[in-house]
Structure 1
Amino acid sequence: MGTINGFRGGVRGLSRAVGISAVIVLVAAGCGSKGAENTADTSGDTLKFGASLSLSGKTAREGQLTKEGYDLCVDQVTKQGGIQVGDRKLKLEIDYQDDTSNPDTAGQIVDRFNDSGVKLLLGPYGTAPTGASMPVVERNSQVMVDSAGADDTLFTHGYRRTFAVLSPASKYAAAIVQAIDELANPKPKSVVFLSADDGFSKTVASGGEDAARKLGWQVLTRQEFPNGTTDVSSALTAIKGQQPDLIIGSVHLAEGIAIIQQSAELGITPASGFGETVAPPTPDFVKTLGDKAENVLSSSQWSSAIGGSDPIFGSAKDYVTAFRAKFGADRTPQYHNAEASAACLAMVLAVQKAGSAAPDKVRDALAALDTQSFFGAIKFNEVGENVVKPMSVIQIQGGKVVPVWPKDQAEGTLAWPARR
């Protein structure tokens, strides 16, 4: 076979026995991949995606934001009359199953989807559940669009049926470092990274440390703590005497809140300020910390200032309008919402381009996808990563998320030093 957008050999080495009869569930067929009838689909006009999500457990908040993004996609597709699949227009439905933030459970859910004939999947929240799902997707000849599994190492195993719309983990903290280098005066001379001990967070920290070293900053010894902890005092105590100019947390929500709270309690006030991944754009960050959140920097997969548009959501500004219409005028979409909607968008566009819901055809259409969207550019490299989309950098200013970098997306200027 030839090269499909860098995927040499297309699906070489993978079973192609699935074919048309093993489509997601074109409801009129009513047959699953193992011959089991999918009794949920009887109307003959519905296309079903499956999604394993952390609707409970330690990342339930992020999982709920992901679900909102998927739900908004369903709404927008419905407003357009459904998905055009060949000569038919089908309703879109998403079957959600709670993986309880447990990677093993996520993999089991993917298998159960396959047993019921659901072959097209939207990714779970987080690197570990995504990593547990990917080999199952491959084995079952399913197809998955990843919305929140960012660790670069996920894409080093030769899988060819998972595609990630988000920028890889190695760019998260590196973007914060790059933004500070371009915008800040005076620049920090020293930085320390505090990291949760999961694979994603450690990859993020390593990417940030590499970027800082290249700029000539002094990078102090990284301090790690358990993923999901609410007590980071030992890590903070270890760096207090070193007085770093800048503290960057490679974290999720719980650890990110703990860093800011406990730094204040311990009297740790870095000369330049704080940066963190993931946590600051999440609404609970400001709600919990109040004024303590002020001026904290963060990277973001998306901002409302991103250029590009698509036929489902329109522009980034249109996305904000649609989100508020569904979830409330007082809500502002966060990148967790947007990356989920973008994953659903990619799957919808691939199905329409393929003219079929047959998983092999959808996989090939995803591999060849090259489009602009409300989320920015979507184009996958040979292993399924979207490396053409840059990260954005935001800062909490006046209790709001304000894009400050890159300059063509900035809606405010960097407050510096970023001390509270």
Structure 2
Amino acid sequence: MLAPSRRAVLRTGLAATSLVAMPAILRAQGASVKLGIIQPVTGALANDGDLGKLGAELAVQDINAAGGLKALGGAKLEIVFADSRSNPETAAQETERLNGEGVAAIVGGFGSGLCATASQAASRYDLPYLIDVGVADQLTKRGLKNTFRFSPSFGMVTKSALERLVALNDAAGKPARTVVIVHEDGLFGSGLAKLLQAELPKLGFEILETVSHPSPARDMANVVLRIRSLQPDLVIPSNYYGEFVLLARTMLQQRVRPKGIYAILGGGASSLRFVKEFPQAAEGVMDCNHWPDPKNPLTAELRKRTEAAGRAFAYNVPMNYSAVRLMAEAIEKAGAPDRLKIIEALSTQSFSSGVMPYGQSKFDTGQNTSALPLNTQVQGGDVKVIAPEAFAETKANFPLKA
């Protein structure tokens, strides 16, 4: 074998020296940044997970089409997807896999129980985790420096929901005095029910009963029979999509029609799938929940793109679309797909909120302090924002006729 010539050695050395001297930003050109997306696309929460995944995919498409991560030389975002299968243990296992895949950060989770185990697993690797929807207050109170929540907590949602319920009831002449709470028995529903039990009596409402149910639930007949016997003015449900729809349909079938169904984080109340498939059960249902700004033109565009993909629009799409864009902005502000630098950026800087009605998002001990739920009502076969006034499209229809 012939030894390389002196000229060849010099050429190789100069090329290597040039590569080392090249600015890091140029060396990064053409590279991709791996972003973990975790959603429950199978199991009991599959409908929500599928929509969350779609929202993330649409965001990555738009970011890459607009030139990628410009602060990183136009690096493209690459999704590494994980299915938690609606199971907390699997959520933790899939987070371990995402870490092994070398993702720079994770967005998603959906359910509070899923987010709890996934973010805990991510914390072992200083892996930035941005919760999309999981609302349990304790998710950002565990001292995990890697964990951030884009959406409002259920404490924040409940505060807004009760203030608006009082205003709604007062404006209508206080027709509602008695309440039955119906909630799923997991981390999300049980925590919310506890808050409602503490706060509603202070506001002049009598809680006739609090009814819990498992998720998934196959039958709501006994729950609705109990509501019928108590004859409350209001039913306040807090549950996931399948159970909410089952409850509303069973109430319609059994002709149980209170003065209002006022959901707080009701899984189906703000879903166009529910409205289209069961219009009679959906009509008049109110909800205080995650919802995009209806006055932002991009909201209507996202709805069109969701329907073009064969899905019915719900908040999961704009929520995850906006959360992924926020994480991309954080990676750019960090200047590199460096996990600790991303955590530092999320902890200290403010960010665009996409199509969500949050203004500038800023995190305090992991919670987005500007996150704001909206009140919606199903009217005329569509979901309309009724409060707060700055985002309202129409007035509330309350009380409902028997």
For Structure 1 versus Structure 2, the TM-score category normalised by the shorter chain is 0.7 to 0.9
1:364 aligns with 2:350: no
Q: Structure 1 stretch 340-349 or stretch 166-175: which is displaced more?
A: 166-175
Give the match's secondary structure for 1:278.
Answer: coil
- Seen in structure 2, the aligned counterparts of structure 1 residues 218 and 339 have a Cα distance that, compared at 3 Å, is same
Q: Rg larger in 1 or in 2?
A: 2
- Structure 1: give runs of 5+ residues left out of the alignment: 1-25, 30-42, 307-315
Q: Which residue pairs with 1:256 in the alignment? A: 244
| Post-superposition offset of 1:330 | 9.2
C-alpha separation in 1, matches of 2:228 and 2:164? 25
What TM-score comes out, normalization by structure 1 length?
Answer: 0.82
1:303 aligns with 2:284: no
Task: Please identify which structure carries the higher helix content.
Answer: 2
C-alpha separation in 2, matches of 1:53 and 1:72? 15
| Post-superposition offset of 1:267 | 3.2
Provide the aligned length of Structure 1 versus Structure 2.
371
Give the match's secondary structure for 1:222.
Answer: strand
Give the match's secondary structure for 1:186.
Answer: coil
Q: Which residue pairs with 1:334 in the alignment? A: 314
1:233 aligns with 2:215: no
Map 1:21-420 onto structure 2 (within 5 A).
44-86=30-72, 88-184=73-169, 185-187=172-174, 188-275=176-263, 277-305=266-294, 316-325=296-305, 327-328=307-308, 333-373=313-353, 374-375=355-356, 376-419=358-401
Contact 2:30 2:74 in 1 (8 A): no
Give the match's secondary structure for 1:89.
Answer: coil
Contact 1:172 1:208 in 2 (8 A): no
- Seen in structure 2, the aligned counterparts of structure 1 residues 303 and 228 have a Cα distance that, compared at 3 Å, is same
- Seen in structure 2, the aligned counterparts of structure 1 residues 380 and 200 have a Cα distance that, compared at 3 Å, is farther
Contact 1:273 1:417 in 2 (8 A): no
Q: CA offsets, 1:176-216, max 9 Å, x none?
A: 43323213313211111101101111222233344422311
Identity, % of aligned positions: 25
Give the match's secondary structure for 2:70.
Answer: strand
- Structure 2: give runs of 5+ residues left out of the alignment: 1-24
Contact 1:145 1:346 in 2 (8 A): no
C-alpha separation in 2, matches of 1:159 and 1:378? 23
| Post-superposition offset of 1:258 | 1.4
What TM-score comes out, normalization by structure 2 length?
Answer: 0.86
Give the match's secondary structure for 1:220.
Answer: strand
Instruction: Give 1:71's aligned amino acid.
Output: E
Give the match's secondary structure for 1:109.
Answer: helix
Aligned alpha-carbon RMSD (Å)? 2.3
> Which protein has greater RCO, CA pairs closer than 8 Å, 6+ apart?
1
C-alpha separation in 1, matches of 2:109 and 2:386? 29
| Post-superposition offset of 1:305 | 3.0
Give the match's secondary structure for 1:231.
Answer: coil
Contact 2:376 2:385 in 1 (8 A): yes
Q: Structure 1 stretch 106-115 or stretch 225-234: which is displaced more?
A: 225-234
Give the match's secondary structure for 1:96.
Answer: strand
Instruction: Give 1:261's aligned amino acid.
Output: R
Q: CA offsets, 1:253-301, max 9 Å, x none?
A: 1111111111223332213445352311122211332212100001221
Give the match's secondary structure for 1:379.
Answer: strand
Q: Which residue pairs with 1:16 in the alignment? A: none
Instruction: Give 1:258's aligned amino acid.
Output: L
Instruction: Give 1:318's aligned amino acid.
Output: L
| Post-superposition offset of 1:332 | 7.2
